[in-house]
Amino acid sequence: MRIDNLQYANWSEKVFRQMRAGGLDAVHVTIAYHETFRETVLQIERWNRYFEEYSDLICHAKTAADVEAARAAGRTAIIFGAQNPSPIEDDIGLVEILHTLGLRFMQLSYNNQSLLATGCYEAEDPGLTRMGRAVIAEMNRVGMVIDMSHSADRSTIEAAEVSNRPIAITHANPHEWHPARRNKSDPVIRAVVAGGGMLGFSLYPHHLAGGSACTLTDFCEMIARAADRYGIAHLGLGSDLCQDQPDSVVEWMRVGRWTKAMDYGEGSAAAPGFPPMPDWFQDNRDFDNIATGLTATGMETAEVDAIMGGNWHRFYAESFGPASG
C-alpha cells in the first residue's frame, strides 16, 4: 500500500497519470483552504467531473475498503480534506453534511486563529475555543479526522487530549530537525502519537532542513530517528506536493480573504512563490526514491512499507467510520 496523505497539485490528466506511475494507491487532496461551504461543494462537483473523465486513473474513496478496491482496480483513490474549518462556517451541523459528501480530514485552523483553534502564526495561543471542543466531538462522532498541521502548540496538545479518537498532523516535520514555524515540537508530536495519532512527513521545501537542497539521505535519516523516538506505527508521508500551481495559488493559500496585504508565511518577500522541490522528489513518480532511501537507513521491508502507506491505510480503517458505542 502506497499513500500520500496530503497534496494540493494543479490537477490534470498528467498528474493523475504520474500518480499511477508512482504506484499511489491513495492521495489525500485538499479541496478547501478558505472556501465557504458553497465553494467547497463546487470543488466536490469539480472532482466528480474528474472521477467521470479519468475513471481509469482515479476514483473517490470514503473508506479504507474503497482504497483497497481502487488498488485492486489499478486506480488511485482520492480522499477529500480541508485545510481550514471555513467550509463549516459557523454551523456545526455542516460537519456531518460534509462527511456525507466525502470530507475525511479537516484542520481546525490554518496559520491564523479560527473559530475553533489557534494557528501557528499567531503571537498567542489560548488553545481550543468552546466551539472547537464541540466540533471535535462532532468530528469524532461522524468519523472525520482532526488535522492540526497548521495549528499552534497548545491548541494541538489540547485537541489530542479532548478528542476521543486519534488525531493527525498530516504534513509537517520535527521542529528540532528544521525549526520552521510550521514544523512540530517534540511535546506536540508526543501528544498526538500518545493517543494513537499520525504524523505525515512533509516534502515542502520550507519544511526541510536545507530547503530545496535537502538530501534524500538527510530526509530519510530524519524519519528513521523519528521512528526510534515515536514508534514506526505512527508515521507516514504527507508530501504537501503543490505541483504545477501558479504563484497566485500561493497567495490564496496564505492570504485568502483575511488581509489586503501579502503574507509571505515561511517564504520571503524575495521569493514569494512555490520553492523548487528537491531533485529527488519532483512529482508522484519519485516515491520509489523515498522507499529506497528508507531502506538505506537500515529499515526492514515491513517498516518501509508501513511508512510508505500501510500506517495511513490502517488509520483510515480506524478513523473514517462513525464512532462505535
CATH of the domain at 175: 3.20.20.140
The answer to whether residue 101 sits within a structural domain is yes
User: Which of 320, 317, 259 has the alpha carbon at shortest distance from 106?
Assistant: 320
Question: What is residue 106's three-state secondary structure?
Answer: strand
Per-residue model confidence (pLDDT) at position 324? 74
The answer to whether residue 217 sits within a structural domain is yes
The answer to whether residue 324 sits within a structural domain is no
Run of H or E residues at 221: helix 216-230
With 0.75 as the threshold, say if the pTM is over it. Answer: yes
The answer to whether residue 249 sits within a structural domain is yes
The pLDDT tens digits of the residues spanning 81-137 come to: 999 999 999 999 999 999 999 999 999 999 999 999 999 999 999 999 999 999 999
Per-residue model confidence (pLDDT) at position 325? 58
- How many structural domains is the chain composed of? 1
The answer to whether residue 325 sits within a structural domain is no
In the chain, which ranges are E strands? 3-7, 26-32, 58-60, 76-82, 103-107, 145-147, 168-169, 198-201, 235-237
The pLDDT tens digits of the residues spanning 221-279 come to: 999 999 999 999 999 999 999 999 998 998 899 899 999 988 866 554 445 688 999 99
From its phi and psi, is residue 309 left (phi > 0), alpha (psi between -120 and 50) or beta? left
Q: Residues 208, 178: contact at Cβ < 8 Å?
A: yes
The answer to whether residue 121 sits within a structural domain is yes
Q: Residues 146, 103: contact at Cβ < 8 Å?
A: no
Distance CA 138, CA 66 (A): 23
Q: Which domain holds residue 285?
A: 3-319
Per-residue model confidence (pLDDT) at position 93? 98
Per-state percent for the chain, helix, strand, coil, to nearest 5: 45, 15, 40
Per-residue model confidence (pLDDT) at position 272? 65
The pLDDT tens digits of the residues spanning 127-175 come to: 999 999 999 999 999 999 999 999 999 999 999 999 999 999 999 999 9
The pLDDT tens digits of the residues spanning 188-206 come to: 999 999 999 999 999 999 9
